[in-house]
């Protein structure tokens, strides 16, 4: 591990700081971590390149206990204490409140070389839909950091994040190596035709029935970039649709702004809370899921099948310590509902609707407050398709 310049550049944040992190107040009396800057100029995967990277170590880190890992692309943007993200300050607060595990942050900037312009090298590294960048992290950066710090190596303990091209790069790393990274946080991601991120819209859909073990948080803005590469807002919306179609654990945020990180910064802490919400030892605030007791009762339901509205009442109840349900249509016909489950805010059940399919269909409904919204679709067999389904508590 080679340090930046002749001496170690260490940014030590004061133990008790008052200020702003991503537009929100930084809590007083929160233990502050340490950020150290390094250079890496010995890449075998991207030969001839030099880059800066930073390592954030929370004050709670103990070398006797391996720490979780979160890698950030365009590291200079995320580590900047004056920027919208200010990741070290946010991580300080969340680790202190036990809303994310003790995590070492690694902030990696794109490489530069004599043969390649900075932006071109960034595109080479971040835009390729292959395992090159994943190998760069797993074979070069992480082993180098591991020489100084005790890092966990399981996928559940590793997350990766980035913005714009860094967002698609982060998804590519997890997509190529879900055995190494299980959590993705993408801001204003480049899921467009160029450099090829739009291909994920179809690639993800094809994993329906056998999704990869990846959790994804997506964010974009009302006026995100719209150029010859594509419409970034639309690309992210299509990505959200694809992830939901294939039944991934995903959350989507749309906010004001353009191709910038102002809105991303304002929700950054919540994005991390959601991403790490069920990690062992992390405090369960109950914020991200509805209690099972809250779904028991009668729900007015509408199912749209090729424009025909099929409506009725879905009754959810407990039977032999398990969830059960029954559906009575508006025409007073009863339909069996089986294999009812409710986990992580998703209501799912098997439902046979005459004329819809010869195979049982299964719901995938996001419950929030007194309403749910999602789809009913065939998971196996031919004719995989989702039909819009929504409900409201009676």
User: Residue 74, by phi and psi: left (phi above 0), alpha (psi -120 to 50) or beta?
Assistant: left
What are the CA-CA distances from residue 107 to residues 82, 226, 244, 296, 394 (Å)?
A: 15, 28, 29, 45, 49
Q: 341 with 192, same domain?
A: no
What are the CA-CA distances from residue 227 to residues 193, 232, 233 (Å)?
A: 11, 9, 11
In the block, residue with structure tokens 């209690």: 291
Q: Which of 205, 240, 275 is the last residue of a domain?
A: 275
Q: Supply the pLDDT for residue 29.
A: 82
Q: Supply the pLDDT for residue 279.
A: 97
Q: Supply the pLDDT for residue 220.
A: 98
Is 283 inside a domain boundary? no
User: Residue 99, by phi and psi: left (phi above 0), alpha (psi -120 to 50) or beta?
Assistant: alpha
Q: Supply the pLDDT for residue 113.
A: 87
Q: Which of 248, 275, 302 is the last residue of a domain?
A: 275
Is 132 inside a domain boundary? yes
Q: Supply the pLDDT for residue 19.
A: 44
CA angle in degrees (0–180, nearest 5) for 68-56-275: 45
What are the CA-CA distances from residue 176 to residues 138, 171, 248, 377 (Å)?
A: 12, 9, 16, 27
Q: 260 with 300, same domain?
A: no
CA angle in degrees (0–180, nearest 5) for 348-349-354: 135
189, with CB counted inside 10 A (0-12, 13-18, 19+), is buried
Question: C-alpha dihedral over 140, 38, 77, 118, to 10 degrees?
Answer: -70
Q: 320 with 252, same domain?
A: no
Other CB atoms within 10 Å distance of the CB of residue 337: 19
Count of domains observed in the chain: 2
Nearest Cα to Cα of residue 54 among 70, 76, 83, 86 = 76
User: Residue 338, by phi and psi: left (phi above 0), alpha (psi -120 to 50) or beta?
Assistant: beta
Is residue 310 within 8 Å of residue 296, measured between CB atoms?
no
Report helix, strand or coil for 187.
Answer: strand
Model pTM score: 0.90
Separation of CA 287 from chain center: 17
Q: 270 with 301, same domain?
A: no
Beta bridge partners of 361: 351, 378
Phi, psi at 287, each rounded to 5°: -70, -30
- CATH number, position 332: 2.40.128.120
3-state helix, strand, coil in the chain (%, to 5): 25, 35, 40
Q: Supply the pLDDT for residue 336.
A: 85
Q: 211 with 350, same domain?
A: no
Q: 81 with 15, same domain?
A: yes
Q: Supply the pLDDT for residue 8.
A: 37
Q: Supply the pLDDT for residue 392.
A: 98
Is 282 inside a domain boundary? no
Nearest Cα to Cα of residue 175 among 151, 152, 191 = 191
Q: 331 with 261, same domain?
A: no
Question: C-alpha dihedral over 213, 224, 364, 311, to 10 degrees?
Answer: -170
Going from the first residue of the chain to its last (394 residues), give the mean pLDDT of each consecutive group of 10, the final group possibly shorter: 40 37 61 98 96 98 98 98 97 98 98 78 94 99 98 99 98 99 98 88 95 98 96 98 96 98 98 97 86 94 92 95 94 91 93 70 92 86 81 95
Is 133 inside a domain boundary? yes
Is 319 inside a domain boundary? yes
Q: 331 with 225, same domain?
A: no
Q: 248 with 369, same domain?
A: no
Q: 250 with 303, same domain?
A: no
Residue environment code for 145-184, b if the CB has 16+ CB neighbours within 10 A, otherwise e = beeeeebbeebebbbbbbbbbbbbbbbbbbbbbeebbbbb
Q: Which of 222, 242, 275 is the last residue of a domain?
A: 275
Q: Supply the pLDDT for residue 154.
A: 98
Count of positions (residues) in the chain: 394
Is 280 inside a domain boundary? no
Residue environment code for 231-241, b if the CB has 16+ CB neighbours within 10 A, otherwise e = bbbebbbbbbb
Q: Which domain holds residue 329?
A: 292-393
Is residue 392 within 8 Å of residue 299, measured between CB atoms?
yes
Q: 133 with 201, same domain?
A: yes
Is 74 inside a domain boundary? yes
Q: Supply the pLDDT for residue 284.
A: 84
- CATH number, position 37: 3.40.50.1820
Is 285 inside a domain boundary? no
Q: Supply the pLDDT for residue 27.
A: 61
CA distance 356 to 352: 8
Q: 333 with 203, same domain?
A: no
């Amino acid at each position: 591990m080679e340090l930046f310049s002749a001496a170690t550049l260490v940014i030590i944040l004061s133990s008790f700081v008052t200020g702003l992190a991503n537009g929100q107040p930084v809590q007083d009396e929160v233990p502050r971590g340490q950020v150290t800057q390094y250079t890496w100029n010995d890449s075998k995967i991207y030969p001839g390149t030099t880059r800066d990277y930073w390592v954030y170590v929370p004050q709670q880190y103990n070398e006797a206990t391996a720490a979780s890992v979160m890698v950030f692309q365009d590291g200079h943007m995320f580590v900047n204490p004056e920027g919208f993200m200010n990741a070290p300050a946010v991580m300080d607060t969340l680790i202190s409140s036990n809303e994310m595990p003790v995590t070492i942050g690694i902030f990696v900037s794109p490489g530069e070389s004599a043969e390649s312009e900075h932006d071109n090298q960034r595109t080479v590294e971040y835009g390729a839909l292959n395992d090159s960048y994943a190998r760069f992290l797993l074979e070069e950066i992480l082993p180098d950091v591991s020489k100084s710090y005790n890092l966990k190596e399981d996928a559940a303990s590793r997350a990766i994040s980035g913005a714009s091209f860094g967002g698609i790069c982060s998804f590519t790393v997890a997509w190529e190596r879900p055995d190494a990274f299980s959590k993705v946080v993408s801001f204003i991601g480049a899921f467009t035709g160029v450099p090829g991120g739009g291909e994920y819209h179809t690639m993800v859909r094809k994993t329906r029935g056998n999704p990869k073990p990846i959790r994804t948080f997506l964010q974009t803005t009302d006026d995100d970039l719209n150029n010859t590469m594509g419409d970034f807002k639309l690309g992210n919306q299509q990505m959200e649709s694809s992830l939901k179609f294939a039944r991934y654990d995903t959350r989507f945020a749309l906010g004001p702004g353009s191709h910038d990180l102002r809105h991303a910064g304002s929700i950054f802490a919540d994005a991390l809370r959601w991403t790490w919400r069920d990690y062992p030892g992390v405090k369960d605030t109950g914020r991200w899921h509805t209690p099972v007791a809250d779904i028991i009762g009668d729900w007015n339901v509408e199912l749209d099948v090729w424009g025909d509205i099929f409506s009725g009442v879905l009754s959810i109840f407990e039977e032999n310590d398990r969830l059960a349900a029954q559906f009575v249509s508006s025409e007073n016909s009863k339909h069996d509902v089986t294999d009812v489950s409710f986990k992580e805010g998703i209501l799912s059940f098997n439902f046979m609707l005459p004329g819809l399919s010869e195979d049982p269909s299964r719901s995938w409904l996001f419950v929030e407050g007194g309403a749910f919204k999602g789809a009913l679709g065939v998971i196996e067999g031919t004719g995989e398709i989702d039909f819009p389904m929504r409900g409201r508590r009676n």
